[in-house]
Amino acid sequence: MAVSFEISERFNVDAARLYSAWLDSEEHGAMTGGEAYIEASVGGEFTAWDEYIWGKTLELQPNQKIVQAWRTAEFEAADGDSRLEIELKPDGDGTLLTLRHSEIPEGQPDYKQGWEDNYFVPMREYFKGQ
């Protein structure tokens, strides 16, 4: 049975800023601390966290939503891709980022904690004061 979860975090920057940072190779790497390469278009491929994560972008709604087929080095070759949805909604003078990660094959690490530790914590620091 596949695993799914949802987590949210509020950032003190607008949705356009988060959206562009997520889809820019250099800035994605800077905000997370791991090297990234991102083709910022539907059908474009990406890698993140020094090629530990990779996949393909399935849907883009500028400044609102990013949907990706997503996998890590932990996936078995026979495992299908998981699905990652990033939703951005204005929240006062900032943005609420909601991350939905679904279709994760059984037996994978705790990606929910991984998103918190390896994305949200460094992103809070990166966007602090912007």
Domains of the chain listed by start with CATH number: 3-23+58-127 (3.30.530.20)
Q: Which residues of 57-89 are buried (b: 16+ CB within 10 A; e: fewer)?
A: bbebeeeebbbbbbbbeebeeebebbbbbbbbe
Q: What are 61-85's pLDDT values in tens digits?
A: 999 999 999 999 999 999 999 999 9
The whole model's pTM is what? 0.95
Q: What are 93-114's pLDDT values in tens digits?
A: 999 999 999 999 999 999 999 9
* pLDDT score recorded for residue 9: 96
Alpha carbon distance 102, 18 (integer Å):
21
